[in-house]
Chain A
Amino acid sequence: MTINLKVWKQKNAKTSGSLETYKVDHVSPDMSFLEMFDVLNEKLVQENKEPIAFDHDCREGICGMCSMYINGQPHGPLEGVTTCQLHMRTFNDGDTIVVEPWRSKAFPVIKDLVVDRSAFDRIIASGGYVSVNTGNAQDANSLPIGKDKADMAFAAAACIGCGACVAACKNASAMLFVSAKVSQLALLPQGQPERESRALNMVAQMDAEGFGACTNTGACAAECPKEISLENIARLNREFLGASISSTGV
């Protein structure tokens, strides 16, 4: 296959960028989207040109690094997959594909397609954890958890923090991500002690990072590679509003 690419090139966070055109020949339909970029980059290096900077790590859909906004959709046209799991057979020979970085004030572009997603790390650090004191781990079966709750918590825990929800949302809102992180713990007994402060602090951090407010358009859930559902956002609203009313902090 031959693929025509229009890729966002940007030197660093301070400069502004533009779309550059590239032609990639000999693309195998079985290559992943990232492998197609590897082929292109090798060629660019051989030609003494600057390769395109892009993020990746696991290449199996679990790390959430491979942020690419492909033809107007985060992680490209397929549902429930990340860019690294997207194969070139999804496209046609001769297609022109536009690849842009995530666009959000809270995710500044570092270079080309690489954005700084440490805003997510700061949100997690503000409450997306369970404090565990030292001592022996107790027997797992001494904490009864209903199957339905366990399933919901597990589905929320599938979030890989990729940021596609922010990229897809017209408000660049991080609500789906934060709702998944709040839900996975709010649903389980281990999450109860810090339940209120977690919801309050994570939402406060999310707002401080400059993400927009959710207007329930649902673009996030439609584009999420892990198919995190909007129910989680409703739960986050409940958790946050409930904690605002009932927490003892004035």
Chain B
Amino acid sequence: MSWLTKTLTSSIGKKLLMALTGLFLCTFLIVHLIGNLQLFKNDGGYAFNNYAVFMTTFPLIKIVSYVNYALILFHAFWGLYITYKNRQARPVGYAVVKNSSNVFSRNMAVLGTILLVYLAVHMSDFWYKYHNEALPYVKYTEQISSGNIETTMMETGYTQEAKKVESLNEAAGTKTIIVKDLYSVVSFSFQNILLVLFYVLSMFAVAFHMFHGFQSAFQTLGWSHPKYTPLIKGIGVWVFAVLIPIGYAAMPLYFYFLK
């Protein structure tokens, strides 16, 4: 066995892979949230739909997103594998157990599995539809001089291969953009209370996974220091386990209650 495989398959190396992929996914949580904040703009989906085109066509981002999908799958199955192996380290259990550790830290695999189910539903709700189904289109006519944007829903049955068609009408001083209307799909999906509940509850799983996971990854990397560890723990709790899940949960709630 080469030194590298030996390192990465040791108990500490296995955890190193969990920590590195986990932290990569943490950055994804931030980027995805910031991008999706455009859903809150009251512009008929103009910003959000253009952002969706950018995210699915710009080559570098496409590469990163496929890396991201691969790492989620790797993190999930590697984590479940470690959990399975760890269970074998105690073939006979205790009759009585009084736990002195935090409940989320003991249930990372359960929380992760909820996240995996959530991700499957989420991808088929939006990602799959966006790429594979005949979506409604929307036309934005921008008055170049004033910047005013007029939104026109396209007739149903408008099918086109392209995600985005741009044209310029110099005589009228307008620019029109026709894009797949993912915004309406999102807005429509979140009229279903069951889906809204599922999304909001899944964000609790994100919160709990992060409550333990963020600081745990730094401990795995060996980055523990009396000066900086409190800061890392604070960020893990307040940013990753509170702020970010609230931000995500706000989206379905916004569409259900306000749109």
A residues neighboring B (CB under 8 Å): 6, 19, 69, 71-73, 77, 98, 100, 103-106, 168, 170-173, 175, 203-204, 206-207, 210-219, 222-223, 230-231, 233-242, 244, 247, 249-250
Contact = CB atoms under 8 A, between A and B. Distances in A.
B216 interface: yes
A173 B11 contact: yes
Contacts of B220: 214, 216, 237
Interface in B11-62: 11-16
Contacts of A77: 98
Contact of A19 (B7, B90, B92, B95): B95
Nearest to B213: A216
A203 B11 contact: yes
A178 to B, nearest CB: 10
B91 A105 contact: yes
In terms of DSSP, what is the predominant structure of the interface of chain A? mixed
B10 to A, nearest CB: 6
Contact of B12 (A19, A219, A230, A240): A240
A233 B93 CA distance: 25
29 contacts: A71-B96, A72-B94, A72-B98, A98-B95, A103-B94, A104-B90, A170-B90, A172-B89, A173-B89, A175-B11, A210-B88, A210-B89, A211-B11, A211-B89, A212-B87, A212-B89, A213-B15, A214-B220, A218-B101, A218-B102, A222-B101, A233-B219, A237-B15, A237-B219, A237-B222, A239-B222, A240-B10, A242-B222, A250-B3
B224 interface: yes
Contacts of B98: 71-73, 77
B95 A234 contact: no
A237 B97 contact: no
Interface string B220-239: 11111000000000000000
B96 A212 contact: no
B100 A219 contact: yes
A11 to B, nearest CB: 15
A216 to B, nearest CB: 4
A104 B91 CA distance: 7
Contact of A206 (B11, B14, B90, B105): B11
Contacts of B212: 216
Given A103-B93, A204-B10, A250-B2, A216 B221 contact: no
B82 interface: yes
A53 to B, nearest CB: 17
